[in-house]
Amino acid sequence: MNGTSSTKGIFELGKAVLQAEAQAICHLSDTLNENFIKAVQILLACKGRVVVSGVGKSGHIARKIAATLASTGTPAFFVHAAEAAHGDLGMITKEDVVIAISYSGSSSELLAIVPTIVREGTPIIAITGSDSNPLANHATVNLNIHVEREACPLNLAPTSSTTVTLALGDALAVACLDAKGFGPEDFARSHPGGALGRRLLTHVKDVMRTGDDLPVVKDSASVLDAVKEITRKKIGMTAITNDANEVVGIFTEGDLRRLIEKVGDIRPISIASVMTKHPSTTTADALAMEAAKVLETTLRNQLLVVDKDNKLIGALHIHDLMTAKVI
């Protein structure tokens, strides 16, 4: 193989493309101006939804930008410019904001719907490759994403320009996210099916063991009673409470093994004399991932759940967290 068909040529071309697109993003960062601030202010003032539109490769980028905005606290959706001209334009109201993407600024499909949007009084944020073009001239604000050349060796396929557009969309979304005080829990509510959603939306009360599944003996019980309870409940430990149901200790299978090695006969021993006093606990309203951190810190597999008065209401095993995919 010769030229760019060789292994070395392929590698070097790949690096060149990545470097070209990285440089294009850096150039945009250096040339970003007050129009970006105006665009963010328009988005923050939007009382409706953000409608992102484009055709071709710009349409694909527009769809991604709409998805990013929607998942970070700015309600948004994508409308294909060609479909908008055949009925979907009715989805856009004066309460909305339109982000129109066309590198040339002369996309016939976009320009066909712009006059109607302008008459409606809907603000338009244009993302184009120059300061003066038909789309930019009709927009409320224009964001210039000009690139010196595409990363494509032929300087034809949209590569650097689409990457820069996508990065600018991320910048707009993140700026809005920050201004709105959008936090991890807000993000989780938009992603309930993902790992982050599970970690930030799952509480201890959602996964803890209660009722007949909760291992517990009184502090007046014997070690043998505790062993029987551990065996019945199959969680590897039992809680110890006083007559007021307040947690006074915990006894685990590990504690049992160590006790047998030390004394042999456990039958005459009271649980109160060998239990671990003042065990780590959590609350039902705590996030499950916080409980997981406690288990990691204490090097234990079980955790007791108490109310504000330190009364036992549940128990948690590390396997419960794994089953819920919190860890």
Going along the chain from its start, the domains and CATH numbers come out as: 3-182 (3.40.50.10490), 204-323 (3.10.580.10)
Task: State the pLDDT at residue 212.
Answer: 93
Residue 240's H or E segment, with its range, is: strand 237-241
Quote the percentage of the chain above a pLDDT of 90.
72
Mean pLDDT of 263-275: 92
Q: Is the pLDDT of residue 239 over 60?
A: yes
Residue 4 has a pLDDT of 55
Q: What share of the chain is helix, strand, coil (3-state, %, to 5)?
A: 50, 20, 30
Which has more confidence, 49 or 88?
49
Please say if the pLDDT value at position 125 is more than 80.
yes
Token digits for 200? 């930030």
Q: How far apart are CA 28 and CA 167, in angstroms?
A: 9
**Mean of pLDDT values over 31-42:** 97
Distance CA 30, CA 148 (A): 14
Residue matched to tokens 């292994």:
7
Q: Which two tokens stand for residue 219?
A: 């502090």
The single-letter code of the amino acid at 84 is: A
What would the mean pLDDT of 147-164 be, rounded to a whole number? 92
More confident residue, 190 or 126: 126
Asked whether the predicted pLDDT for residue 1 surpasses 50, the reply is: no
**pLDDT at residue 324, as a whole number:** 82
Higher-confidence position of 322 and 36: 36
Determine the average pLDDT of the residues in 89-118.
91
Global confidence as pTM: 0.67
- Contact between 127 and 145 under an 8 Å Cβ cutoff? The reply is yes
Q: What is the rounded average pLDDT for all residues in the chain?
A: 90
Count CA within 13 A, CB hemisphere, residue 141.
Answer: 17
Higher pLDDT, 85 or 240: 240
Phi-psi region of 16 (alpha: psi -120 to 50; beta: other; left: phi over 0): alpha
Work out the average pLDDT over 235-250. Answer: 96
Edge-to-edge strand list for the sheet holding 50-54:
76-80, 50-54, 97-101, 124-128, 141-144
Q: Which tokens hold the place of 93? A: 């109201």
Mean pLDDT of the 86-99 span: 83
Instruction: Write down the pLDDT at residue 189.
Output: 66
Q: What is the dihedral of CA 90, 96, 97, 102, to 10 degrees?
A: -20
Q: Bigger pLDDT: 88 or 20?
A: 20
The arithmetic mean of pLDDT across residues 55-59, rounded, is 93
What are the φ/ψ torsions at residue 218 (nearest 5 degrees)? -80, 160
What does the pLDDT average to over 171-186?
86
Q: 15-51 burial, b for 16+ CB within 10 Å, e for fewer?
A: eebeebbeebbebbeeeeeebbebbbebbeebeebbb
Q: 220-250 burial, b for 16+ CB within 10 Å, e for fewer?
A: ebbbeebbebbeebebbbbbbbeeebebbbb
pLDDT the model gives residue 186 = 67
Rounded Cα distance between 31 and 203, Å, is: 46
Residue 327's pLDDT is: 79
Residue 188's pLDDT is 64
pLDDT above 90 for 245:
yes
Least confidently predicted of 59-63, 82-86, 90-94, 154-158 = 82-86
- Which has more pLDDT, 271 or 202? 271
Q: Are 288 and 199 in contact (CB under 8 A)?
A: yes
What pLDDT does residue 298 have?
86
Stretch 8-24: mean pLDDT: 92
